[in-house]
Amino acid sequence: MVDRVAAALSLADRVRPVSLANERVLDVSGPLASLLPGGVLPRGITVGVSGVATSLALALTASVAKGDSWVAVVGMGALGLAAAEESGLALERLLLVDSVPAGQWASVVAALVEAVQVVLVAPPVAAVPAGQARRMAARMREQGAVLIQVAWPERTWPQRPELSLQARPLAWSGIGAGHGHLRARQVEIVVSGRHGADRPRTARFWLPDEHGRLAPVEPEAAVTSLSPFPGRPRPLSPSRAPAMLPPAPS
């Protein structure tokens, strides 16, 4: 009997997957954890970030890249490094690749994911052919890194991301007609996509708060009148992005 149990146990041991699905995740710390399915980010996925894309991408990266993990930023030459630092990113473990020739995206990202856990990309429109994007996604899965695709104006990714985060700006506080300064912004973050996020989840955050970080909004502080913008906040319509286009940041 004992033998059989032992045999069954050893068999169970042998057929166990090498790595369990729930081991292949990155822990998410901070307020974003409550919004993501299971409070984690599966390794190897592509995340799309839109709305106030830069702040959200930085906040997400900072809450995932912990310990001694490195982060690479590709194709975002105009990224504000002070904002990156305020969001909690460790600048001493950051690699920046400003511009990548159109045919080289897959090889550059493939080289980077060997070393980094998170890659932020914002490639110019049509810079990445669909075939290269698929190869990159496969490489991501293999290496267990997370690709965050930042929807800067005129920047696109050929494939639909598996998880999508959108931050709709609601209102800035601290600034008036000629007084104060930009102090903090309330946003509504919507998470949708696969991996247990089929039903969109929504929550309000300060992004950035007055220290440049992401912070939850206390219920009593939630904006009601949405001043200084009267009426309902308009979600960022796709048409807004090109309209607001500053000359493509290179």
Partner 1 sequence: MSGPTRTLVVWCPDWPVLALGHHPEEPVAVVVANRVLAATVAARQDGVAAGMRRREAQARCPAMVVLDRDLDREARSFEAVVAVVSSFTPWVELSWPGTCALPTSGPARYFGGDRALADAVREQVGRAVPSMLGLVGVGIADGAFAARLAARHIPPGQLVEPGQTPAFLAPLPLSVLESPELVGVLQRLGLHTLGAFGALAVPDVIGRFGRVGERAHRLARGLDDLPLDARMPPPDLSVSVELDPPVARVDQAGFAAKSLADRLSVVLDDAGWSCLRLAVQAETEHGEQLLRLWRHEGALTPGAIAERVRWQLEGWLTASALNRPTGGLIRLALVPDQVIPAQGRQLGFWGGQSESARRATRAASRVAGLLGPNAVRVPDRRGGRHPHEQFSLLAATAVDLEDRAARPLPAALAPWPGRLPLPSPGIVWTAGERPAARVLDSAGAVVTVNGRGEPSAAPFRLEARGWARSYEIKAWAGPWPVEERWWDPAQQRRVARLQVVLDDGGAWLAILEGGRWWIAAQYD
Instruction: Show contacts with partner 1 in window 165-194 (CB under 8 A).
Output: 169-172, 175-185
**Position 223 contacts partner 1 (CB under 8 A):** no
Output 55 or 166, the one with its CB closest to partner 1: 55
Dig out the tokens for 33 from the structure.
Answer: 């954890």
CA–CA distance, 147 with 137 (Å, rounded to integer): 8
- Cα 107 from Cα 174, distance rounded (Å): 45
Element (H, E) at 241: helix 240-243
* Closest C-alpha among 133, 166, 145 to residue 235: 166
Instruction: Between 96 and 162, name the residue whose CB sits nearer to partner 1.
Output: 96
Q: How far apart are CA 13 and CA 92, in angstroms?
A: 41
**What are the beta bridge partners of residue 185?**
172
Residues 119-138 touching partner 1, rule: CB under 8 A, are: none
Alpha-carbon distances, residue 225 vs 171, 183, 203, 228, 236 (angstroms): 9, 18, 17, 8, 18
Asked if 144 and 41 count as a contact pair (C-beta separation under 8 A), the reply is: no
Of the pair 6, 248, the CB lying nearest partner 1 is at: 248
114 binds partner 1 (CB under 8 A): yes
Which of the stretches 7-15, 35-43, 51-59, 124-132 binds partner 1 when contact is defined by CB under 8 A? 51-59
Residues 65-104, interacting with partner 1 (CB under 8 A): 67-70, 72, 78-83, 85-86, 90-98, 100-101, 104
Helix (H, G, I), strand (E, B) or coil at 119: strand
Piece in contact with partner 1 (CB under 8 A), picked from 15-23, 40-48, 112-120, 133-141: 112-120
Beta carbon of residue 106, minimum distance to partner 1 (angstroms, whole number): 11
Binding to partner 1 by residue 53, rule CB under 8 A?
A: yes
Type and span of the H or E element at 110: helix 105-113
Cα 173 to Cα 226: distance, rounded to the nearest angstrom: 10
Q: Choose which of 46, 54, 61, 166 interacts with partner 1 (CB under 8 A).
A: 54
Query: Out of 152, 155, 163, 190, which residue is the one contacting partner 1 (CB under 8 A)?
Result: 152
Nearer CB in complex with partner 1: 106/163: 106
CB of 93 to partner 1, least distance (A): 5
Q: Which residue, 86 or 162, is less far from partner 1 as judged by CB?
A: 86
